[in-house]
């Protein structure tokens, strides 16, 4: 019975299999007939096409998108670039042509070696690049004597130009020749991130990367490579059997890359760079109402144009071996102990946890003892009896030691994380580093040691393990300024419109906030504030100084021979602030590496920025 059933199925299935086989046979025959048609009947025709009328398709590079600041000032543009190439086949001996060219343009022996090597690698009718960035003089010298250089062609390409030189260099980034890693990154659709994917108006499948292409290596140029990059066009050339181009058969125009509007304000950026001068460090200026980055500076800087022009011998070496790390964007990659700028977070944690009231006072006599260790206040003589506002204004360490004792590391860590410490801010630049907010678990995992109460004390004054980037500090002070909204720092304005992304809303009791803000106002405006000399004129600001003592330990470790005046062992100076206090428009974080005290080194930088900005703004309002 079952056997029958199965046999029945088998008979039917066999018939159907034969049908599939038959279909396969028919289809194979169709392929065969088509091949017969293509290869035997029309073979001669196609052979002519292949041999005598070789069609060569040449990519026509697309201009890269421009980059503007928020007000439409151009930050990055393209300029024509003349390059010389030679088609070896037509040159009548490439080495001879090169020798002749040397009389008119500069070509080194090493260049010649590379050019000949490249020429051997490719077909002899394809042009070999001799030199880029020819000056107009060089171009005309060659053009006039073109009969001397058969096969030489001048190609015009567009070349990236940064009109402001090193201004904003770390934000803009620079271009370099594409590597395999770059190619992988850029063809990865997640590279740009979900929130910016809509900026790409072209089909990523049509965006091509070729070896030798210049692509963004860092900064905005890298992060938004797929946006800025255009879609190359093609020139269809008829090439004769010798490889000479006979005529153009048609072309499709390249599609230029999309322009990008940054959140930067070029005037504010210029002010900020001027205020910082040549001091090592970084400054971040943020709009606390939107999280937009208005200015971002890292020092020392570099000129992105140099990457286009090419470096002379030694120039590149000095750039990468410079101990100041000019290629690092310290605003997002530099991780520093936040020092006393961290105290606002500790104060808000203490208030929220009910560990301290507005009028609770602590007597500071210059130090406290914990576990037989003496923890010093920066002011050896002590601050006397201080309340919360004065503790912030005078940056009393003892007050925060006692507060930290009550809060404990767990609650402190929780609060600090709310403000973005220890996590990436999500700024749309590549290479951001997360800083570090230590916890019991972290220490157990990383140091294989329990958390000691004394470590809570030094954490509370922003020392010890805690590390923050300048952009994190700017975010923190912006969050205080705007009443508790932690924004994702924005770098671009799609369609030149603001798009604020809220990372998190922190619930802060308005009274608590008012106390902390009062303390910060006193820092600049109070009679005993740590930065009272740095109060800006023309605008009322609130801020907090910080001095991070990273190297003191090293100094002690390395013996006492090193004089404290050695700049490498100076403390980092920090200052964070916002202004105007009534309705904050700017939030600033300044860090001066080895600058000494926050009050004397960092706060004046912020003051200069604020004074210049609000002076210009007020002038603008009056006219």
**Cα dist from 239 to 49, 56, 58, 168, 616, whole Å:** 11, 6, 11, 46, 61
Q: Is 17 in the site for other proteins (CB under 8 A)?
A: yes
Instruction: Output the six-digit token pair for 375.
Output: 């923890």
Which candidate in 166, 340, 425, 599 is catalytic?
Answer: 340
Say if residues 223 and 200 touch (Cβ distance below 8 Å).
Answer: no
Report the alpha-carbon distance of residue 439 to residue 93 in Å, rounded: 70
Q: Is 311 in the site for other proteins (CB under 8 A)?
A: no
Min. distance of Cβ 474 from other proteins in angstroms?
32
Among 34, 133, 137, 210, binds other proteins (CB under 8 A): 34
Q: Is 56 in the site for other proteins (CB under 8 A)?
A: yes
Residue 294 vs 430, nearer CB to other proteins: 430
Q: Is 240 in the site for other proteins (CB under 8 A)?
A: no
Report the alpha-carbon distance of residue 513 to residue 540 in Å, rounded: 18
The residues in 79-138 that bind other proteins, with binding defined as CB under 8 A, are 123
Q: Is 6 in the site for other proteins (CB under 8 A)?
A: yes
Among 78, 118, 155, 187, binds other proteins (CB under 8 A): 187
Sign of CA dihedral 122, 127, 131, 132: negative
- Give the residue among 105, 101, 112 at the shortest CA–CA distance from 149: 101
Number of chain positions touching other proteins (CB under 8 A): 57
Report the alpha-carbon distance of residue 305 to residue 161 in Å, rounded: 6
Q: Is 148 in the site for other proteins (CB under 8 A)?
A: no
Assign 84 to helix, strand or coil: strand
Q: Is 16 in the site for other proteins (CB under 8 A)?
A: yes
Min. distance of Cβ 243 from other proteins in angstroms?
9
Q: Is 55 in the site for other proteins (CB under 8 A)?
A: yes
Bridge partners (DSSP) listed for residue 55 = 238
Going residue by residue from 461 to 490, which x/- string records binding to other proteins, judged by CB under 8 A? ------------------------------
Instruction: Output the six-digit token pair for 621.
Output: 């309002």
Report the alpha-carbon distance of residue 338 to residue 385 in Å, rounded: 25
Among 140, 252, 447, 558, binds other proteins (CB under 8 A): 252
- Give the residue among 487, 128, 468, 135 at the shortest CA–CA distance from 293: 487
- Give the residue among 395, 391, 393, 397 at the shortest CA–CA distance from 356: 391
User: DSSP secondary-structure letter at 583?
Assistant: S
Report the alpha-carbon distance of residue 481 to residue 68 in Å, rounded: 28
Q: Is 500 in the site for other proteins (CB under 8 A)?
A: no
Residue 51 vs 582, nearer CB to other proteins: 51
Min. distance of Cβ 196 from other proteins in angstroms?
15
Among 36, 137, 156, 363, binds other proteins (CB under 8 A): 36
The DSSP string of 399-445 is HHHHHHHHHHHHHHHHHHHHTTTTS----SSTT----B---HHHHHH
Min. distance of Cβ 125 from other proteins in angstroms?
9
Which segment (181-189, 277-285, 321-329, 490-498) binds other proteins by CB under 8 A?
A: 181-189
Say if residues 183 and 476 touch (Cβ distance below 8 Å).
Answer: no
**Kind of pairing, strands 260-261 and 67-68?**
parallel
Residue 61 vs 538, nearer CB to other proteins: 61
With tokens 């954490």, the residue in question is: 459
Residue 250 vs 450, nearer CB to other proteins: 250
Among 106, 109, 181, 190, binds other proteins (CB under 8 A): 190
Assess whether 565 carries a catalytic annotation: no
| Contacts with 519 (C-beta within 8 Å, 6 or more apart), sequence order | 344, 347, 388, 389, 390, 391, 392, 393
Min. distance of Cβ 179 from other proteins in angstroms?
16
Q: Which residues are catalytic?
A: 340
What residues make contact with other proteins under the rule CB under 8 A? 2-3, 5-6, 8-10, 12-14, 16-21, 24-25, 27-28, 30-32, 34-36, 38-40, 42-47, 49-51, 54-57, 123, 184, 187-190, 203-206, 234, 236, 250-252
């Amino acid at each position: 019975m079952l056997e029958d059933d199965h046999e029945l199925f088998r008979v039917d299935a066999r018939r159907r299999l034969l049908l599939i086989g038959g279909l396969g046979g028919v289809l194979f025959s169709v392929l065969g007939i088509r091949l017969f048609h293509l290869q035997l009947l029309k073979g001669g025709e196609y052979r002519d096409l292949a041999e005598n009328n070789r069609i060569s398709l040449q990519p026509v590079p697309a201009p890269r998108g421009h980059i503007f600041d928020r007000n439409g000032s151009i930050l990055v543009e393209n300029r024509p670039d003349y390059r010389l190439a030679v088609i070896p086949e037509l040159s009548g001996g490439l080495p001879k042509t090169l020798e002749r060219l040397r009389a008119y343009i500069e070509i080194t022996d090493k260049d010649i070696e590379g050019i000949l090597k490249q020429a051997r690698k490719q077909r002899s009718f394809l042009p070999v690049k001799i030199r880029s960035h020819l000056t107009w003089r060089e171009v005309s010298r060659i053009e006039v004597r073109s009969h001397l250089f058969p096969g030489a062609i001048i190609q015009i390409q567009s070349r990236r130009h940064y009109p402001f030189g090193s201004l904003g260099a770390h934000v803009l980034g620079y271009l370099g020749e594409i590597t395999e890693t770059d190619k992988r990154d850029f063809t990865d659709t997640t590279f740009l991130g979900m929130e910016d994917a809509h900026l790409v108006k072209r089909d990523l499948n049509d965006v091509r990367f070729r070896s030798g292409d210049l692509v963004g290596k860092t900064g905005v140029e890298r992060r938004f490579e797929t946006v800025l990059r255009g879609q190359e066009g093609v020139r269809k050339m008829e090439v004769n059997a010798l490889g000479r181009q006979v005529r153009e058969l048609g072309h499709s125009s390249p599609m230029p890359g999309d322009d990008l509007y940054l959140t930067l304000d070029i005037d504010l950026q210029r002010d900020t760079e001027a205020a910082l001068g040549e001091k090592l460090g970084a400054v971040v200026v943020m709009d606390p109402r939107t999280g937009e980055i208005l200015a971002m500076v890292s020092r020392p800087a570099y000129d992105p144009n140099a990457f286009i022009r090419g470096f002379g011998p030694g120039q590149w070496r000095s750039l990468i071996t410079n101990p100041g790390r000019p290629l690092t964007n310290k605003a997002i990659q530099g991780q520093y102990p936040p020092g006393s700028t961290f105290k606002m977070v500790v104060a808000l944690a203490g208030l929220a946890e009910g560990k301290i009231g507005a009028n609770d006072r602590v007597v500071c006599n210059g130090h406290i003892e914990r576990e037989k260790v003496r923890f010093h206040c920066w002011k050896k003589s002590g601050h006397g009896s201080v309340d919360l506002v004065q503790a912030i204004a005078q940056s009393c360490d003892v007050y925060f030691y006692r507060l930290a004792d009550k809060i404990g590391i767990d609650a402190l860590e929780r609060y600090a994380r709310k403000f973005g410490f220890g996590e990436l801010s999500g700024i749309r630049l590549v290479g951001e580093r997360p800083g570090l907010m230590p916890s019991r678990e972290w220490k157990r995992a990383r140091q294989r040691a329990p958390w000691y109460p004394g470590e809570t004390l030094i954490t509370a004054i922003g020392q010890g393990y805690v590390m923050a980037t300048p952009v994190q500090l700017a975010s923190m002070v912006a969050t205080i300024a705007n009443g508790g909204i932690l924004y994702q720092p924005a770098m671009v304005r799609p369609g030149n419109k603001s798009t604020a992304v809220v990372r998190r809303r922190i619930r802060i009791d308005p009274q608590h906030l008012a106390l902390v803000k009062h303390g910060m106002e006193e820092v600049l405006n109070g009679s005993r504030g740590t930065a009272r000399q740095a109060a800006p004129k023309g605008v009322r600001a609130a801020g907090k100084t910080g001095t991070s003592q990273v190297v003191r330990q090293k100094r002690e470790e390395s013996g006492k021979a090193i004089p404290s005046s050695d700049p490498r062992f100076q403390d980092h100076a920090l200052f964070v602030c916002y202004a105007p206090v009534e309705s904050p428009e700017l939030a600033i974080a300044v860090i001066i590496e080895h600058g000494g005290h926050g009050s004397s080194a960092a706060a004046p930088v912020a003051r200069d920025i604020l004074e210049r900005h609000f002076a210009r703004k007020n002038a603008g309002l009056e006219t």
